[in-house]
Amino acid sequence: MSNDNLPVKPEDEHGVVEVAEPIPDPGLEPHEPRITDIDPKAADRAERQVSGMFGLATLLVLGSCVAYFAIPRDSILEFGPLSGNANNMVIGLCIGLALFLIGAGAIQWAKKLMVDEEISEERHAAHSSPQQIAEITEAFKEGAEESGFGRRKMIRNSLIGALGILGLPAIILLRDLGPLPGRALYNTIWAKGIRVVNDVTDRPIKPSDLVVGQLVNAAPANLAPLQEENASEYQNAKAKAAVIVVRIKPSEIRTKPGRENWGIDGILCYSKICTHVGCPISLYEQTTHHVLCPCHQSTFDLADSAKVVFGPAARPLPQLPLAVDSEGYLVAQSGFHEPVGPSFFERG
Amino acid sequence: MSTNTEFPGPVKWVDDRLGIAKIGKKNLRKVFPDHWSFMLGEIALYSFIILILTGTFLTFWFKPSMAEVEYQGSYSLLKGLHMSEAYASTLDITFDVRGGLLMRQIHHWAAVLFIAAMMVHLLRMFFTGAFRKPRELNWLIGFGMLFLGIIEGFLGYGLPDDLLSGTGLRITNGMIQASPVVGTYMNFFIFGGEFPGDDFVARFFIVHVLLIPGIILALVTAHLFLVVYHKHTQYAGPGRTQKNVVGYPLFPVYTAKAGGFFFVVFGITALMGALMQINPVWLYGPYNPAEVTAGAQPDWYMGWLEGSVRIFPGFESHFWGITLSWNLIIPALIVPPAFVTLVALYPFIEGWITGDKREHHLLDRPRDVPTRTGIGVAFITFYAMLWIGGGNDLIATHFNLSLNHVTWFLRFAVILGPILGFWIARRWAISLQRADQERLLHGLETGVIMRSPEGKYTEKHQPISTYEAYSITARDRLVPHEIGPETDENGVRAPRRALHKARAALSRFYYADAVQKPTTQEIEEAHEHAHDADEIHELTEDTETYREVTSDRS
């Protein structure tokens, strides 16, 4: 880009912004003495204030030490509807006030007693002088010449290559941070014949346990045993397998073709994991059959294959096909037919 | 008074090894200008120090491990529950370590304050034009710290492994997963496999306590070094020029003031930690991937990202066996980085438009650069609309509004709001400039109404002091970028004509309607007029005051 047309020509690049026109700089305003400059009594008063603050701070710091040992750690302080841990509160109050007083004292000292006449210091442009530039350029050239870096291109290029390739192990060594995704996101621990259990009581659910309008948070029966085996896998499995079971009046349900036998008398089961970013959805409104994700307010219509009716989610909640086993409990006909939770690139 | 040419013993020992007199000579009485708005950066610096102090305390007891334990501490409501060691040790710090809750709360409040102070400091830089040459680099360093500070805060928020922080991480996990091609791989590498896994607390911990604070510390050092090296900017005023800095010396005044201010900031955060509850993790319970609390909110600085994904409509494309989640790619992966980059590069954009390559050490008053001020307000409005979006559910429930209406309103407001904000702020700045001009040329209205022998009513005006007049005019003349002739003297077309034209147009827009300060002649004319008539402002039939004064005659 050429600089020819700039309002400030290149030679003015180091020019100074001229502001002292049309009114010339009258110079610093005359210093107004403070009351503490004129009246020694006022100055003494200020001194007492400052040392008073410092003295009080000392007492408060000591107070915090006493509070640490004297106040039982579980005692509660109450102020009307507010309450808090007494030990923490008193220590905090003492230290906080002490720190504040030390600071306020120092500032008061500076403002009232220290000389308050403003002084001026020269400022210089950041750039180097032509002479300095010439000197450093000369020095650099000399060094570059002595190394032969520019002349011996083979050294230069091979060094650049060697240093560049060093980045590779730095990345490769991080490979074992985690396994590759593989098919992990496509599967949950739901499978054919796994019972649907209440996620608090772990009890299997019978269709007759649910009344119309009811929604139950549920999990697969094979989840709970995992907790004893491997706590981390239990959490991972739970993060994908959580479901909601809802009973809706069959006449209000609009079934998607191919899902006619996925429900039992209006009992439908959906993944609880929001298809937006994976929060467990939880707020159900009986009259509209809408369920709302509390994180980003995506709203799904459970009577209509959990399609999105509002919010940032783009896909319906995956549905789990239900059946009843020989003992009359709800079971899964199969696992989910699609990955649960938020979208990902290779999902299709 | 005799002057010592030798240091006392211990100081001499140090000087013999470090030559402190040479280093200290210039800096001991270094001048810093005085203004309240220069304290904002100090607040950020001090809260960072408080964060290091309180954070170190917390690491003595915090166990960055996701191994499952049964809680046996003194908080009876969670006794016997299975939870991660991270959460259990956070409960121990809260209930069993004396002063632990206090330190946790100071730490959290200081973190909130740290980022708030950096942001307000950044706004001060923006609106006063402090980012101009030679300080562009320090602007970028500051931006780097703000960015790292936000990540640092978010990681810290995730460490206690409570229900709220786990939910926050899961949302992050979902956003990362939406990245084209690499999403799932990034997630599996960050979390060591599927979410939540058992790795992230330990990993986030080391990044939170060592890596990021280390980088921030290095950046703070560079930032402060440059402040000292460039010397502080100052507001224009009598005796304050481009070539000097007027204020109080570092020793003693600023040692006392700035040092004292550190204690004030620490004291206030300690009082907040003592009296104001923040992040009561014991109420949320341990993380459970099947549960969530309604009305959950992240820390304030994450709110705009949260709002961005909340208000974006649900679009997704499926083709060629792949999924593109526009509902996350745009609001989470494109818009925030693009916005941040735009603001970070603003000094260079403005420099290009105005063509100003000179050093600036005098700060602009926001009104004196109306377009920049308007742009700044547009940035703020954009951010604010997204931030409000982060609490759309709370706004709906608190004000009895429909959540859908709030969201739809914000979908439009995030685009129209900044335009409106720009326009209002720009006009406002121009009006303030005009008021200044009025004050400068015609003086102050005294409220004294005079009647001449002929019965004419006039109001006496008093000229403002030279000092004030100088402060108002001590600014640059705003000259739009001039585009040269189409062809040079040989008839050759200037290269990159279109780019030059666009630049000139932007420059004209940038300076359009801004009030130029008067010339010497204009000031003289205004004053002569005042002198001749012994009044400046003539009251006419239209004047409100005139009618009031004459009402009793009718």
Helix, coil or strand: residue A331: strand
| Residue type at position B321 | G
Q: Evaluate whether residue A348 is within a structural domain.
A: no
Residue A96 belongs to some domain of the structure: yes
pLDDT of residue A12: 55
Residue B146 domain flag: yes
Cα gap B424→B429, rounded to integer Å = 9
Percent of chain A past pLDDT 70, that is, above it, reads 95
DSSP per-residue string spanning B386-451: HHHHTTHHHHHHHTT--HHHHHHHHHHHHHHHHHHHHHHHHHHHHHHHHHHHHHHHH-EEEEEEEE
The C-alpha of B89 sits at a distance from chain A's nearest C-alpha, in angstroms, of: 17
Distance from CA of A21 to the nearest CA of B (A): 7
Q: Are residues B249 and B114 in the same domain?
A: yes
Q: Rounded to the nearest 5°, which phi and psi values hold at B347?
A: -55, -40
The arithmetic mean of pLDDT across residues A202-231, rounded, is: 92
Domain assignment present for residue B414? The answer is: yes
Mutate to test the interface with A, among B357, B471, B503, B517 (most CBs of A within 10 A): B357
Does A239 contact B196 at a Cβ distance shorter than 8 Å?
Answer: yes
Q: Do residue B393 and residue B318 come from a single domain?
A: no
Pair type for strands B31-32 and A82-85: unpaired
Residues whose CB is less than 8 angstroms from the CB of residue B192 and which lie 6 or more positions away in sequence, other chains included: A177, A178, B198, B199, B200, B203
Asked if B321 and B249 sit in the same domain, the reply is yes
Between CA B315 and CA A314 the distance in angstroms is 5
CA distance B16 to chain A (A): 29
Per-residue pLDDT of chain B (554 residues; tens, 9 = 90+): 557 788 888 889 998 999 888 888 888 999 999 999 999 999 999 999 999 999 999 999 999 999 999 999 999 999 999 999 999 999 999 999 999 999 999 999 999 999 999 999 999 999 999 999 999 999 999 999 999 999 999 999 999 999 999 999 999 999 999 999 999 999 999 999 999 999 999 999 999 999 999 999 999 999 999 999 999 999 999 999 999 999 999 999 999 999 999 999 999 999 999 999 999 999 999 999 998 877 778 899 999 999 999 999 998 999 998 999 999 999 999 999 999 999 999 999 999 998 888 899 999 999 999 999 999 999 999 999 999 999 999 999 999 999 999 999 999 999 999 999 999 999 999 999 999 998 998 888 888 888 888 888 888 888 899 999 999 999 888 777 777 777 777 777 777 778 888 888 898 888 888 888 888 888 888 877 765 555 445 555 444 444 444 334 33
Nearest CA in chain A to B104: A88
What's the pLDDT at A1? 38
Mutate to test the interface with B, among A95, A127, A277, A281 (most CBs of B within 10 A): A277
Pairing relation of β-strands B244-249 and B31-32?
antiparallel
Contact A91 B101 (CB under 8 A): no
Q: Between chains, do B252 and A114 touch, taking CB under 8 Å as contact?
A: yes
CB of B539 closer than 8 Å to CB of B545: yes
Domain presence at residue B141: yes
Q: What is the CATH number of the domain that holds A266?
A: 2.102.10.10
pLDDT for the residue numbered B412: 96
Q: What is the ipTM of this complex?
A: 0.91
User: Which residues of chain A are within 8 Å of residue B482 when distances are taken between CB atoms?
Assistant: 5, 7
> Pseudo-torsion of CA B111, B114, B116, B120, nearest 10°?
180
At position A64, the amino acid (one-letter code) is: S
- Inspect the interface and report whether the beta carbons of A120 and B311 lie closer than 8 Å: no
Residue B394 — left, alpha, or beta (φ > 0 → left; ψ -120 to 50 → alpha)? alpha
Which strand (E) or helix (H) includes residue A237? helix A231-241
Q: How much is the average pLDDT of A105-127? A: 92
> What is the separation, in whole angstroms, between the first and last Cα of chain A?
46
Given A90, A113, A136, which residue is the final one in a domain? A113
Q: Considering only CB atoms, which chain B residues are within 8 Å of A177? A: 189-190, 192
Domain of A99?
A: 35-113
- Looking at the structure, tell me whether residues B143 and B240 fall in a common domain: yes
Q: Do residues B136 and B347 touch, judged by C-beta distance below 8 A? A: yes
Same domain, B371 and B320: no
Residues A309 and A199 occupy one common structural domain: yes
On whether residue B353 sits in a domain, the answer given is no
Q: How far is B349 from chain A (nearest CA, A)?
A: 14
CATH number assigned to the domain comprising residue B172: 1.20.810.10
Read out DSSP for A281-319? P-EEETTTTEEE-TTT--EEEGGGTTEEEESS--SPPPB
Distance CA A320, CA A331 (A): 10
Using pLDDT thresholds of 50, 70 and 90, give the confidence band for residue A243: very high
> Which residue range forms the structural domain that includes residue B394?
365-482+496-536
Asked if residue B446 belongs to a domain, the reply is yes
Domain count, chain B: 2
Distance from the A323 Cα atom to the nearest Cα atom in chain B, whole angstroms: 23
Of A14, A178, A313, the CB nearest to B192: A178
Which CA distances in Å does A278 have to B169, B175, B292? Answer: 10, 9, 11
Does the beta-carbon distance from A107 to B257 stay under 8 Å? yes
* Confidence (pTM): 0.91
Q: Is B277 in the same domain as B380?
A: no
When divided into structural domains, chain A yields a total of 2
- The sign of the torsion formed by the CA atoms of B220, B226, B229, B235 equals negative
Q: Are residues A108 and A212 in the same domain?
A: no
Do B318 and B193 lie in one domain? The reply is yes
Q: Who among A18, A29, A178 is closest to B191 (CB)? A: A178
Containing H/E element for A85?
A: strand A82-85
DSSP 8-state class, residue B453: T
- As to burial, measured by CB atoms within 10 angstroms (0-12 exposed, 13-18 middle, 19+ buried), residue A215 is buried
Confidence at residue A307, expressed as pLDDT on a 0 to 100 scale = 94
Residue B468 shares a structural domain with residue B528: yes
Mutation site, A6, A17, A198, interface B, largest B CB count within 10 A: A17
Tokens standing for residue A46: 């200020």
Would residue A166 count as lying in a domain? no
Mark whether B316 and B372 lie in a shared domain.
Answer: no
Are both B169 and B100 inside the same structural domain? yes
A26 to chain B: closest CA residue = B238
Using the beta-carbon criterion (under 8 Å), do B267 and A314 form an inter-chain contact? no
Do both B312 and B164 map to the same domain? yes
Nearest Cα of chain B lies from the Cα of A145 at a distance, in angstroms, of 31
Alpha-carbon distance A298 to B131, whole Å?
41
**Cβ separation B288–A180 shorter than 8 A:** no
Which residue out of A123, A176, A217, A310 would a mutagenesis test of the B interface target, given it has the greatest number of B Cβ atoms within 10 Å? A123
Q: Chain B residues with CB inside 8 Å of A239's CB?
A: 170, 194-196, 289-290
Decide if A280 and B292 are in contact by the 8 Å CB cutoff.
Answer: yes
Distance from CA of A144 to the nearest CA of B (A): 28
**Considering CB atoms only, which of B174, B268, B313 is closest to A342?**
B174
Q: Are residues B318 and B388 in the same domain?
A: no
